[in-house]
């Protein structure tokens, strides 16, 4: 089979297209023939930072394809099923940037009639967004239509992959969704994703515009840039509200006013999908799968998430595009 492999940390040039034997699923594992691999920022960060416990790594946490074989203890009815894959390469050498991969059976979810492109876009961004929408004291533990019907959510950075996922999931759960963006083009994407109100923070005052919609504050903030937005976030929280931070601003630090946050019993929650509590992650997988099967999640320009396709042989260019913060979702086709 064809696979992307790197044997040392570094820039995208360390990614090599190689021939490898098709792996065999072990006990509790499934073999998936990959249609598309989704590329996330953690893929290039892991590639640059290492380490490589197995001495090599096929990148790609997310993907979608068809189950080709199962290992001991796995229901054989899964063979032939269309599935999406999540967290394939976390502390494992077998990622999704290959024609085939093996993963524990719990890390595949039936895709039904949804497209492989959608399946490859679900994992890391949508599981992260789910945690950001359920981690607060006054937010629900799970998402479904109506779960956020009495809530207002602010998504800071609504045109990014996690921002788009948060908008779509929150809108599916019937929240009032406010999104901030940096340009008119990104405003169109956030609106297409389902945001009720979109604020261009380069041209409008976020504090003023949010208060027009939510004079008592927002219940949850999905935060991509805490260092830049902390002062504003503090002033926008509803009593008992939460700011969920999923990006690190390049190692920046945040200073918070203790008394101002104590009074409303506010919460700041930091989110890394790989180390989420098991129960929270399991619920996220169930809810994201349900949203996808019900049509609550979409991909493409019309969903505010433009798709950028690369063949397996151009994996380095795909990684570079994500590293350069391309707007939209980068997918690697394992069939080209």
- Topology of domain 2-123+278-333 in CATH is Quinone Oxidoreductase; Chain A, domain 1 (3.90.180)
Assess whether the previous peptide bond of 51 is cis (omega < 30° from 0).
yes
Quote the percentage of the chain above a pLDDT of 90.
96
d(CA 85, CA 64): 6
pLDDT for position 53: 87
103: nearest Cα among 65, 54, 49: 65
For strands 329-333 and 29-39, give the pairing: antiparallel
d(CA 328, CA 315): 16
- The whole-model pTM stands at 0.97
For strands 108-110 and 82-85, give the pairing: antiparallel
d(CA 142, CA 111): 20
pLDDT for position 50: 80
CATH 3.90.180.10 for domain 136-270:
yes
Contact between residue 247 and residue 89 where contact means Cβ atoms under 8 Å apart:
no
Residues 255-294 have pLDDT tens digits of 999 999 999 999 999 999 999 999 999 999 999 999 999 9
- Residues with Cβ within 8 Å of 306's Cβ and at least 6 positions away in sequence, in order, are 189, 300, 327, 328, 329
pLDDT for position 234: 97
51: nearest Cα among 14, 13, 101, 91: 91
Contact between residue 319 and residue 297 where contact means Cβ atoms under 8 Å apart:
no
Q: Which two tokens stand for residue 312?
A: 């397996």
Same fold, 2-123+278-333 and 136-270: yes
pLDDT for position 86: 98
The residues spanned by each domain of the chain are: 2-123+278-333, 136-270
Residues 67-113 have pLDDT tens digits of 999 999 999 999 999 999 999 999 999 999 999 999 999 999 999 99
């Amino acid at each position: 089979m064809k696979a992307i492999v790197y044997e040392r940390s570094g820039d995208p040039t360390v990614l090599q297209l190689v021939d490898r034997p098709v792996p065999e699923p072990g006990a509790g594992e499934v073999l998936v023939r990959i249609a598309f691999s989704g590329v996330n920022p953690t893929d290039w960060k892991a590639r640059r930072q290492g380490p490589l416990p197995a001495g090599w790594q096929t990148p790609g946490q997310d993907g979608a394809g068809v189950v080709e074989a199962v290992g001991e203890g796995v229901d054989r009815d899964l063979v032939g099923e269309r599935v999406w894959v999540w967290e394939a390469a976390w502390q494992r050498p077998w990622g999704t940037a290959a024609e085939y991969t093996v993963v524990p059976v719990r890390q595949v979810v039936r895709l039904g009639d949804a497209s492989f492109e959608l399946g490859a876009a679900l994992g890391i961004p949508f599981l992260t967004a789910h945690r950001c929408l359920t981690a607060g004291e006054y937010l629900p533990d799970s998402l479904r239509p109506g779960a956020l019907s009495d809530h207002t959510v602010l998504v800071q950075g609504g045109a990014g992959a996690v921002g788009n996922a948060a908008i779509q999931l929150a809108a599916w759960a019937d929240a009032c969704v406010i999104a901030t963006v940096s340009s008119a083009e990104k405003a169109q994407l956030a609106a297409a994703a389902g945001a009720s109100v979109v604020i261009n923070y380069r041209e409008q005052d976020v504090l003023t515009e949010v208060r027009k919609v939510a004079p008592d504050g927002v219940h949850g903030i999905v935060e991509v840039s805490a260092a830049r937005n902390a002062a504003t976030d503090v002033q926008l929280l509803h009593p008992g509200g939460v700011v969920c931070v999923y990006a690190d601003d390049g190692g920046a630090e945040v200073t918070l006013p203790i008394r101002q946050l104590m009074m409303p019993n506010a919460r700041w929650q930091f989110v890394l999908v790989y180390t989420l509590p098991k129960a929270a992650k399991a619920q996220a997988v169930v809810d994201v799968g349900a949203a996808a099967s019900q049509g609550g999640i979409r991909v493409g320009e019309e969903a505010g998430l433009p798709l950028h396709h690369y063949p397996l042989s151009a994996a380095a260019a795909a990684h570079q595009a994500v590293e350069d913060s391309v707007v939209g979702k980068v997918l690697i086709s394992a069939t080209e």
